[in-house]
Structure 1
């Protein structure tokens, strides 16, 4: 009786060991499959990057979609820092004319822009994501609204109007996040590395030129009204350029289809 029960427990133990081996083998196989899949994806991305030549980063300028993106981004950065640099001085100069804005009060305009940005950046980004708006069209909308408010800001010359404009501008001055996400979606992950490098260079040039050009406009006109109209026009124009995306995308897709069909015909005909 004891031997029978002992042999039975030994058989069950053997079965349990076989089940554990099978389960561990399945887990190892599943882990290896996942690692192989991840390696394959990484190898494809790395391989496509390794195939790029030394001067391929210049060839991206042959893509009209990239030219569209970088032109709009450059104009955006030309205008972006004009209110940051010149709004306080504009308020101080109005103190010596008719508005009566003191220097202590006008100094709070820059923090008001920052406060608007603190509220606007998460809210605008969340809204675009919640309503599933493509970042390129979210960028165009934000730029257009910000440009219209900036070009009309000379009519907001009272102390209340200047603070409202400061918060309004800060709330909408976050389009550069959308344009970078747009470049990644439109150009793809491989071309995005080169595109982002060019974008950073032209953004730096725009930051350098914008406030300087705004100051030169004031020197010529002796009024900051045209400085802010210049900044607003740059923002509106950067948004208007985005309307060319649809025809450029159709043209690019058509040219890719033609080149693919011609290469296939060259290999088979």
Structure 2
């Protein structure tokens, strides 16, 4: 009787089991395992970036869902209110292209562009309660759509800059996990605030603060990088002296 351990079919089936029950290729299984490797959470820079992405994702969907409803409470027609979503989409498209093009220049600090855009996006979103007519809301939608383009277009690039290309799969997989959780809870929190106050202002204020915080905390990364570089240099110097 042939030994099943040497059976090519058994070996193939063993290689194509993901999580012990889902049939997939070995490459897919290995990629999924790498994405769900939580050891990267020991890296303080990645933790800061994850907190930033989590905060951004909490506020990310609020303008898309509630800006038209907020316009309706101001007496703006439903047709005009629907155009606000289109304005966000158009500005977002331009933002991704322009910010991506600028960030590709070697003399541009991509992390600074990312941080400034998120902070500006959050501040503008928090100021939505000050918008009382269609024009001011349209200006906000342009600002939001353009600046949030940095979040969508530059996240993977910033990850590579901070952690290296070899950690991109793991880092991006964990980020998607955090983004999914935050995107799931963000809009219901905004709806809950509307139910309590009968106003969309708290929802926009919450979303704006979360996005602004996500940009502000990222400014801590460059000092941390310099600190880590100094410690690494001191450690290398100490080891060199010990060997001498």
TM-score range, shorter chain: 0.7 to 0.9
Query: Cα–Cα, structure 1 residues 92 and 57, in superposed 2: closer, same or farther, change >3 Å?
Result: same
2:228 maps to: 252
Of 185, 197, 214, the match for 2:161 = 185
Contact 1:69 1:179 in 2 (8 A): no
Q: Does 1:136 align with 2:118?
A: no
2:42 maps to: 62
2:173 maps to: 197
**TM-score, scaled relative to structure 1:** 0.71
| Structure 2: gaps (5+ residues) | 1-29
Structure 1 residue 85: Cα displacement: 0.6
Bigger Rg over Cα: 1
> Take 1:209 and 1:56, find their aligned partners in 2: how far apart are those partners?
21
Contact 1:138 1:178 in 2 (8 A): no
Of 218, 223, 233, the match for 2:199 = 223
CA deviations 1:18-60 (Å, max 9, x no partner) are: xxxxxxxxxxxxxxxxxxxxxxxxxxxxxxxx9xx98992221
Of 239, 260, 263, the match for 2:215 = 239
RMSD: 2.6
CA deviations 1:41-80 (Å, max 9, x no partner) are: xxxxxxxxx9xx9899222111111111111111111111
Q: Counterparts in 2 of 1:22-33, with a 5 A limit?
A: none
1:39 maps to: none
Number of residue pairs the alignment of both structures matches: 212
Structure 2 SS opposite 1:107: helix
Structure 1 residue 250: Cα displacement: 2.7
Q: Does 1:79 align with 2:59?
A: yes
**TM-score, scaled relative to structure 2:** 0.78
1:46 maps to: none
